[in-house]
Amino acid sequence: MPTINFGAGPAKMPEEVMRQAQREFIFYGNTGLSVIEMSHRSSHYENINQNAQDVLRRILKVPDNYKILFLQGGGTGLFAAVAMNLMGRTGSADYIVTGSWSAKAAKEAAKYGKVNLVLPKTSKYTGIPSQETWNLDPNASYVYYCSNETVHGVEFDYIPETNGVPLVADMSSNFLSRGFDVSKFGVIFAGAQKNVGPSGVTLVIVREDLLGEPMKICPIVMDFTIMAQDNSLHNTPPTFNVYFVGLVFQWIEGQGGLAEMEKRATYKSSAVYSVIDGSKGFYSCPVEKESRSKMNIPFRIKTEELEQLFLKEAQTKGMIQLKGHRSVGGIRASLYNAVTTEETQSLVQFMEEFMSAHQ
Ligand code: PMP
What confidence tens digit (pLDDT) does each residue in 21-36 have? 999 999 999 999 999 9
The residue among 331, 347, 349 whose CA lies nearest residue 339 is 347
pTM reported for the whole predicted model: 0.98
Q: Cβ(154)–Cβ(128) under 8 Å?
A: yes
* First-to-last C-alpha distance (Å) of the chain: 28
Q: Which atom in ligand 1 lies closest to the alpha carbon of residue 150?
A: 5
- Report which protein residue has its CA nearest ligand 1's atom 9: 75
Residue 114 banded pLDDT, cuts 50, 70, 90 = very high
Can you tell me the mean pLDDT for 256-264?
A: 98
The residue among 106, 91, 81, 93 whose CA lies nearest residue 227 is 81
Q: Cβ(281)–Cβ(302) under 8 Å?
A: yes
Query: Pocket residues for ligand 1 (CB within 6 Å)?
Result: 9, 74-76, 101, 146, 150, 170, 172-173, 191
State the chain's mean pLDDT as an integer: 97
77 CA → ligand 1 middle, Å: 9
170 is catalytic: yes
Q: Is it the case that residue 256 has pLDDT exceeding 90?
A: yes
Can you tell me the mean pLDDT for 325-331?
A: 93
Distance CA 59, CA 153 (A): 25
Digit-coded pLDDT (tens) for 147-177: 999 999 999 999 999 999 999 999 999 999 9
Can you tell me the mean pLDDT for 300-314?
A: 97
Q: How large is the ipTM?
A: 0.99
Q: What percentage of the chain has pLDDT greater than the value 70? A: 100
The residue among 104, 100, 98, 69 whose CA lies nearest residue 85 is 69
Residue 1 banded pLDDT, cuts 50, 70, 90 = confident
* Catalytic residue from among 170, 223, 268, 323: 170
Sheet with 296-301, strands from edge to edge, namely: 283-284, 296-301, 331-334
Predicted pLDDT of residue 219: 98
Pocket test for ligand 1, best of 173, 203, 295, 326 (most atoms within 8 A of CB): 173
* Catalytic residue from among 194, 268, 294, 323: 194
**Helix (H/G/I), strand (E/B), else coil: 39:** coil
251 is catalytic: no
195 CA → ligand 1 middle, Å: 12
279 CA → ligand 1 middle, Å: 31
Can you tell me the mean pLDDT for 295-322?
A: 97
Q: What domains, with CATH codes, occur in the chain?
A: 16-255 (3.40.640.10), 256-358 (3.90.1150.10)
Can you tell me the mean pLDDT for 214-237?
A: 98
Distance CA 251, CA 256 (A): 9
- Report which protein residue has its CA nearest ligand 1's atom 2: 172
- Report which protein residue has its CA nearest ligand 1's atom 12: 75
Which helix (H) or strand (E) is 347 found in, with range?
helix 341-358
Can you tell me the mean pLDDT for 48-61?
A: 98
70 CA → ligand 1 middle, Å: 16
Can you tell me the mean pLDDT for 316-345?
A: 96
- Report which protein residue has its CA nearest ligand 1's atom 15: 74
- Report which protein residue has its CA nearest ligand 1's atom 3: 172
Can you tell me the mean pLDDT for 202-218?
A: 98
Predicted pLDDT of residue 2: 83
Pocket test for ligand 1, best of 172, 295, 326 (most atoms within 8 A of CB): 172
Predicted pLDDT of residue 253: 98
